[in-house]
């Protein structure tokens, strides 16, 4: 098949994966995104690769497959190191694995890139509490109150929530 045909098939699989994720069918999302990654190979931009790995990581995390979620989140960070959502999702996977120190470091990396993200601030606070390292009284706060309903929107993506944490939109534009 031509590169164009592969790109079209990969883009279609990526869209199907995003739709499956939105519908809560995480196993189908993983399957479609895996097809997209495999089919597209080197025929997509780094940003698209990061979105694909991030979405697959979120699907794995939603099914409590945190080891696989971590592998994909780490790949998303590698592909797009200045993307806060990728770091936040890596923190989610690490927190699921109860590696609280590393999770907190990932959340802090996300906040260094986007200090205004109250959702990630909330997740860092929860992580620190789970690790038994809650900020001392009078210490500077990391962000909004835990349980805050305020979440940051980035390209239709709600950060700090389990809903589609990293898939920033369409996938067809990354094909060459």
Instruction: Give 45-96 pLDDT, tens digit per residue.
Output: 778 888 999 999 999 999 999 999 999 999 999 999 999 999 999 999 999 9
pLDDT tens, position by position, 82-109: 999 999 999 999 999 999 999 999 999 9
Residue 14 has pLDDT above 60, yes or no: yes
Higher pLDDT, 7 or 70: 70
pLDDT at 1: 55
Higher pLDDT, 176 or 161: 161
Say how many Å lie between the first and final Cα of the chain, rounded.
15
Task: Find residue 152's DSSP bridge partners.
Answer: 159
Q: Print burial letters for 154-168: b (CB count within 10 Å at least 16), e (below 16).
A: beebebbeeebbbbb
Task: Taking residues 144-160, report their average pLDDT.
Answer: 34
> Confidence band (pLDDT; 50, 70, 90) for 174?
very low
pLDDT at 41: 73
């Amino acid at each position: 098949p031509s590169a164009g045909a592969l790109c079209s098939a990969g883009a279609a699989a990526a869209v199907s994966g995003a739709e499956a994720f939105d519908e809560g069918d995480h196993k189908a999302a993983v399957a479609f995104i895996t097809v997209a990654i495999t089919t597209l190979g080197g025929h997509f931009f780094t940003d698209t690769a990061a979105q694909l790995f991030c979405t697959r990581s979120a699907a794995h995390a939603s099914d409590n497959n945190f080891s696989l979620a971590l592998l994909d989140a780490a790949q998303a960070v590698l592909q797009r190191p200045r993307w806060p959502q990728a770091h936040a999702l890596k923190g989610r996977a690490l927190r699921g694995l109860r590696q609280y120190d590393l999770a907190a470091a990932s959340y802090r990396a996300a906040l260094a890139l986007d200090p205004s993200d109250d959702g990630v601030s909330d997740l860092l606070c929860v992580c620190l509490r789970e690790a038994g390292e809650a900020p001392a009284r009078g210490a500077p706060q990391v962000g909004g109150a835990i349980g805050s309903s305020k979440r940051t929107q980035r390209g239709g993506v709600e950060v700090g929530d389990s809903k589609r944490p990293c898939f920033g939109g369409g996938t067809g534009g990354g094909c060459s």
